[in-house]
Structure 1
Amino acid sequence: MRLLLVRHGETVDNVANVYAGHTDSALTNHGVLQANRLGIHLSASKISNVFSSDLQRAVKTAEAICAAQDSRTSLEVTKLKLLREQDFGYYEKKPFHQCLKDSKKTSKETYSEAHRTHPGFKDVESKGSMKGRMETFVKEHLMHLLDNNDRNLDDHTVVIVAHGIILGQLWRVVLRQFNSKNVFIGPDVPNPERGLENIGGWSNTGYLDLFIKSIQDVPLAKVGSVPLLDEESDAETPVELEKDDTQHPEIRSLENEPNIPKSVEVSSHDTIEPWIHSSRRGGLNNTTLDMYITRPTPSASLVTPNINSTPVHL
Structure 2
Amino acid sequence: MGKITIFLIRHGESVDNVAGLLAGVRDSPLTSHGAIQARRLGAHLTSTRFDWIFVSNLQRAVSTAEAVRDAQTETKPTLVQVPDLREKDFGSDEGRRWDKQVAAAQDAETKQSMRQRSARFIDEHLSPIVVSSADGEDDTNIAIVSHGMMLASLLAVVRGPDCFHPSLVSSLNADVPARWSNTGFTRLEVSFVEAPTSSEAHPRWPHCRLAVATVNSVAHLAGLKKTRGGIGSAQHDARQRTVTSFFASGPSKKRKAEEQLD
Asked whether the two chains share a fold, i.e. TM above 0.5, the reply is yes
How many matched pairs?
216
1:80 Cα deviation after fit: 1.1
- Deviation digits for residues 130-150 of structure 1 (CA, Å, limit 9, x no counterpart): 000010000000001111243
Partner of 1:43, secondary structure, is coil
Aligned counterpart in structure 2 of residue 73 of structure 1, from 53, 72, 75: 75
Partner of 1:66, secondary structure, is helix
Partner of 2:21, secondary structure, is coil
- Deviation digits for residues 21-74 of structure 1 (CA, Å, limit 9, x no counterpart): 00000000000000001000000001100000000000000000000001x413
Relative to the length of structure 2, the TM-score reads 0.76
Q: Which residue of 2 aligns with 1:51?
A: 54
Q: Which residue of 1 aligns with 2:222?
A: 275
Larger radius of gyration: 2
Q: Which residue of 2 aligns with 1:160?
A: 144
Partner of 1:212, secondary structure, is strand
The equivalences for 1:14-25 within 5 A come to 14-25=17-28
1:155 Cα deviation after fit: 2.3
- Deviation digits for residues 277-300 of structure 1 (CA, Å, limit 9, x no counterpart): 156xxxxxxxxxxxxxxxxxxxxx
Identical counterparts, % of pairs: 35
The equivalences for 1:190-209 within 5 A come to 191=172, 195-196=174-175, 199-209=177-187
1:202 Cα deviation after fit: 0.7
Contact 1:83/1:166 (CA < 8 Å) preserved in 2? Answer: yes
2:116 pairs with 1:132: yes
Relative to the length of structure 1, the TM-score reads 0.64
1:175 Cα deviation after fit: 1.4
Partner of 2:25, secondary structure, is coil
In structure 2, relative to structure 1, the CA distance for the partners of 1:257 and 1:203 (3 Å cut) is same
Partner of 2:132, secondary structure, is coil
Q: Distance in 1 between matches of 2:204 and 2:76?
A: 34
In structure 2, relative to structure 1, the CA distance for the partners of 1:94 and 1:260 (3 Å cut) is same
Q: Distance in 1 between matches of 2:202 and 2:167?
A: 18
Q: Distance in 1 between matches of 2:122 and 2:178?
A: 21
Aligned counterpart in structure 1 of residue 167 of structure 2, from 168, 181, 197: 181
1:266 Cα deviation after fit: 2.4
Structure ranking higher on relative contact order (CA contacts 8 Å, 6+ apart): 2
Q: Which residue of 2 aligns with 1:248?
A: none
1:268 Cα deviation after fit: 2.0
Q: Distance in 2 between matches of 1:48 and 1:258?
A: 22
Aligned counterpart in structure 2 of residue 62 of structure 1, from 60, 65, 74: 65
2:206 pairs with 1:211: no
Q: Which residue of 2 aligns with 1:308?
A: none
Contact 1:34/1:272 (CA < 8 Å) preserved in 2? Answer: no
Q: Distance in 2 between matches of 1:256 and 1:130?
A: 22
Q: What amino acid sits opposite 2:222 in the alignment? A: W
Q: Distance in 1 between matches of 2:58 and 2:137?
A: 29
- Deviation digits for residues 165-218 of structure 1 (CA, Å, limit 9, x no counterpart): 000011111112011111126xxxxx46xx25x6231100011101111126xx
Contact 2:40/2:221 (CA < 8 Å) preserved in 1? Answer: no
Contact 1:19/1:88 (CA < 8 Å) preserved in 2? Answer: yes
Q: What amino acid sits opposite 1:69 in the alignment? A: Q
2:209 pairs with 1:263: yes
Q: Distance in 1 between matches of 2:137 and 2:79?
A: 21
Runs of 5+ in structure 1 lacking a partner? 99-105, 117-122, 186-190, 217-235, 237-254, 280-314
Q: What amino acid sits opposite 2:121 in the alignment? A: F
Alignment RMSD (CA, Å): 2.4
Q: Which residue of 2 aligns with 1:91?
A: 93
Q: Distance in 2 between matches of 1:46 and 1:151?
A: 20
Q: Distance in 2 between matches of 1:67 and 1:153?
A: 27
Q: Distance in 2 between matches of 1:155 and 1:268?
A: 18
Q: Distance in 1 between matches of 2:54 and 2:109?
A: 22
